[in-house]
Amino acid sequence: MNDQLPGRDLSRTKPLFARALTTLQQFLHVEAVSGVVLLVAAAAALLWVNSPFAQSYHDLWNLPVPLRLGEFTFERSLHFWINDALMTVFFLVVGLEIRRESYEGALSRFDQAILPVLAACGGVVVPALIYLSFNAAAGRDQGWAIPTATDIAFAVGVLALLGKSIPGNIRVFLLALAIIDDIIAVLIIALFYAGGLDPGGFAVAAFGVLMALGFQRCGFGSAYAYVVPAFIVWAGFLMAGVHPTLAGVVLGLITPVRSANPEIGPPVIRVETALHPWVAYGIMPIFALANAGVSFKGMDLAGGAQFVTLGVALALCVGKPIGVIGATWLAVRTGWCRLAPGVTWDGICLIGLLAGIGFTMSIFIAMLAFTDDRLLDAAKLGVLFGSLISVTLGLGWGAEYAQRRRREIGD
Can you give the pLDDT of all 411 residues of the chain as single tens digits?
444 444 444 444 455 555 555 554 554 455 567 777 878 888 898 899 999 999 999 999 999 999 887 788 888 999 999 988 998 898 888 888 778 877 776 667 777 779 999 999 999 999 999 999 999 988 899 999 999 888 877 888 888 888 778 888 898 899 888 888 877 887 787 778 766 678 899 999 999 999 999 988 888 878 888 899 999 999 999 898 887 888 888 899 888 887 766 667 788 888 888 888 888 888 888 988 888 787 877 777 777 889 999 999 999 999 999 999 999 999 999 988 888 888 899 999 999 999 999 877 788 788 888 888 788 888 988 998 999 999 999 999 999 998 888 777 665
* Contact in structure between 149 and 187 (CB atoms under 8 Å): no
For residue 179, what pLDDT is reported? 80
The candidate with the shortest Cα–Cα distance to 260, out of 224, 220, 225, is 220
For residue 236, what pLDDT is reported? 93
- Give one DSSP letter per residue of 98-157, joined into a string: HHHHHHHSTTSSHHHHHHHHHHHHHHHHHHHHHHHHH--STTGGGGTTGGG---HHHHHH
For the entire predicted model, the pTM comes to 0.74
Task: Indicate the number of domains in the chain.
Answer: 1
Whole-number Å distance between alpha carbons of 128 and 121: 11
Torsion of CA 282, 46, 301, 126, to 10 degrees: 40
The radius of gyration of the chain's CA atoms, rounded to the nearest angstrom, is 23
Range of the domain at 140: 81-197+241-292+303-410
DSSP 370: -
Whole-number Å distance between alpha carbons of 126 and 124: 6
For residue 111, what pLDDT is reported? 76
Residue 41 falls inside a structural domain? no
* Contact in structure between 148 and 188 (CB atoms under 8 Å): yes
* Contact in structure between 312 and 382 (CB atoms under 8 Å): yes
| Dihedrals phi, psi of 74, to nearest 5 degrees | -125, 110
Residue 9 falls inside a structural domain? no
Side-chain-facing half-sphere of 274: CA atoms under 13 Å: 10
Q: Amino acid identity of 104?
A: E
Burial class (CB in 10 A: 0-12, 13-18, 19+), 236: buried
For residue 319, what pLDDT is reported? 96
Whole-number Å distance between alpha carbons of 213 and 368: 36
Whole-number Å distance between alpha carbons of 33 and 163: 9
The CA–CA distances, whole Å, from 100 to 105, 143, 171, 227 equal: 7, 36, 13, 21
Question: CB neighbours of 137 closer than 8 A, spacing ≥ 6?
Answer: 304
Residue 25 falls inside a structural domain? no
Residue 45 falls inside a structural domain? no
Q: Amino acid identity of 292?
A: A
The vertex-30 CA angle with 29 and 33, nearest 5°, equals 125
Residue 26 falls inside a structural domain? no
For residue 411, what pLDDT is reported? 53
Residue 63 falls inside a structural domain? no
* Contact in structure between 84 and 238 (CB atoms under 8 Å): yes
Cβ atoms within 10 Å of 98's Cβ, excluding its own: 22
Residue 48 falls inside a structural domain? no
Q: For the chain, how far is it from start to end, CA to CA, in angstroms?
A: 59
Residue 350 falls inside a structural domain? yes
CATH of the domain at 279: 1.20.1530.10
For residue 263, what pLDDT is reported? 67
